[in-house]
Amino acid sequence: MQGFTEEIKLEKDRWEGMITKYNSTSLMEFNCSSFGQKEDQAADENTTTAGASLDTEYKALHTKIDRATNQKNVTDFLRSLLKSMYAHVDAGAFKEVAVGNDPIDLKIISERVESGQYYEIVEVFACDVRRMLANIRTLYALGSMHSICASRFEKYFTMKLNCEYIL
């Protein structure tokens, strides 16, 4: 199985609680960096054989994707990510604004995603989510239920973001 290994290299505290091991199952890690290397190499060889350079291919691709298409792709990705965030068991703590210096919650973030104009890049979305989590940690004591939810939610968000989008 390409990219999978039974040796888990990721720190246990980053995945513990999100992955459950059932009877007679094996935990496996997927290495995203090695996935598809053979396919990429074959594609590179075919492109070179055809006489086109990667720079030429990239420029052609870059000019074909206009700003509106790129924005639609970003918005679609963020909708999907937000849907999974709402489904998370700890999302309840973030559905309403926590009073603070810079209030933000999942509802505000959702409205910004739906506008299709606020988040031109995924990094701005990630900053808002992290700000939301920081607000919770500022308002509630370390070890409180809200603080624990924020930590679990952040681990989940980071995992989803890293698996589906590379920052």
* Boundaries of domain holding 43: 1-64
Q: What is the pTM of this model?
A: 0.58
Quickly count: other Cβ atoms within 10 Å of residue 78's Cβ. 24
Q: Are residues 164 and 114 in the same domain?
A: yes
Is the CB of residue 123 less than 8 Å from the CB of residue 133? no
48 and 122 fall within a common domain: no
129 and 107 in a common domain: yes
Q: Read out DSSP for 33-81?
A: TTTTHHHHHHHHHHHHHTT--HHHHHHHHHHHS-HHHHHHHHHHHHHHH
87 and 34 belong to one structural domain: no
Residue 63: the pLDDT is: 47
Residues 80 and 123 in one domain: yes
44, 54: one domain: yes
Q: 41 and 118 share a domain? A: no
Q: Write the CA distances from 146 to 105, 130, 142, integer angstroms.
A: 14, 15, 9
Mean pLDDT of 106-131: 91
Same domain, 25 and 100: no
In this prediction, residue 59 carries a pLDDT of 47
**Which of 5-14, 36-45, 80-89, 150-159 has the weakest average pLDDT?**
36-45
Q: Are residues 154 and 115 in the same domain?
A: yes
Per-residue confidence (pLDDT) for residue 57, from 0 to 100:
46
Q: Which helix (H) or strand (E) holds 155?
A: helix 145-164
Q: What is the number of domains present in the chain?
A: 2
On whether both 137 and 118 belong to a single domain, the answer is yes
Residues 110 and 127 reside in one and the same domain: yes
For the chain, the straight-line distance linking the first and the last C-alpha, in angstroms and rounded, comes to 26
Pick from 44, 64, 84: which residue ends a domain? 64
Alpha carbons 105 and 111: distance in angstroms, whole number = 10
